[in-house]
Amino acid sequence: MGRLNGKVAIVTGGAGGIGAAISQLFACEGARVVTTDIDDERGEDVSAVIRKRGGQALFIRQDVTVESDWAAVMQKAERAFGAPQVIVNNAAVAFPNGSVEKQTLDEWRGVIRANMDSVFLGVKHGIAAIRHSNAGGSIINISSILGMVGSATTAAYTASKGGVRLLTKSAALHCAKAGYNIRVNSVVPGWIQTSMMEESLRRLGSYDSERERICSLIPLGRAGTPNDIACGALYLASDESKYVTGTDLVIDGGYLTQ
């Protein structure tokens, strides 16, 4: 307990799944947490649960693809809790199935905008906000195993998550060379039991049979939980990872080792 005492954290896409788990775990570890999402009701519920447990939390509605929303979130967060030291760029959309031949340009642009443009804005505004805190900090971008290996049927999603990983490395080098004391890393989840995973598997066919098939490909034999990812994000947000930047923390049950 207390691994994030004194820190202010902003978590995008925090109304459910991985984002909600990160928000709640960060609060349990002492952070003052600003959760953002476009789902007002569920986002408010996450913050209410944190406050009920004695934590400090605030929900702000945000479209992560709109730059003015980023500026507004940073201003509101600082007024409520102080300048942030931790930014978690988690918000993303599930991938529409489509090969590079079948995917439409509109589908491509929609996924890139939601999954990569949003992270660019989060890193850009996150750096400025953390610098304002004068305490250094950590930016954590949520990528995917499909940002590390190819997938024939998810061209846009794979490209977007691969782009998140390399943007992370570029930003990490920039911050290090500028002497900002800001670390930038990515977390790379495997198959995690969330509504996004369920939606993706239903698109592939029978949910039960597809889930069984996917789990059979994971060395540990099961899908992960949102808290598995939250624990990795907690490490990168804490001072325990003060010598870690520009890296990919893979949390996938061994999937990519094969």
Among 157, 180, 235, 243, the one annotated catalytic: 157
Sheet holding 248-251, edge to edge: 56-61, 32-37, 8-12, 86-89, 137-142, 182-189, 248-251
Task: Give the count of alpha carbons within 13 A of 227, CB side only.
Answer: 3
Could you tell me the CA-to-CA distances from 112 to 11, 22, 142, 193, 194 in Å, in that order?
20, 23, 14, 23, 21
**Residues 170-180, buried b or exposed e (16+ Cβ, 10 A)?**
ebbeebeeeee
DSSP-based three-state secondary structure for 181: coil
255 is catalytic: no
Residue spans of beta strands (DSSP E) within 17-129:
32-37, 56-61, 86-89
Segment (H or E) for 23: helix 17-28
**If we measure between CA atoms, which residue out of 23, 229, 61, 66 comes closest to residue 143?**
229
Q: Return the active site residues.
A: 157
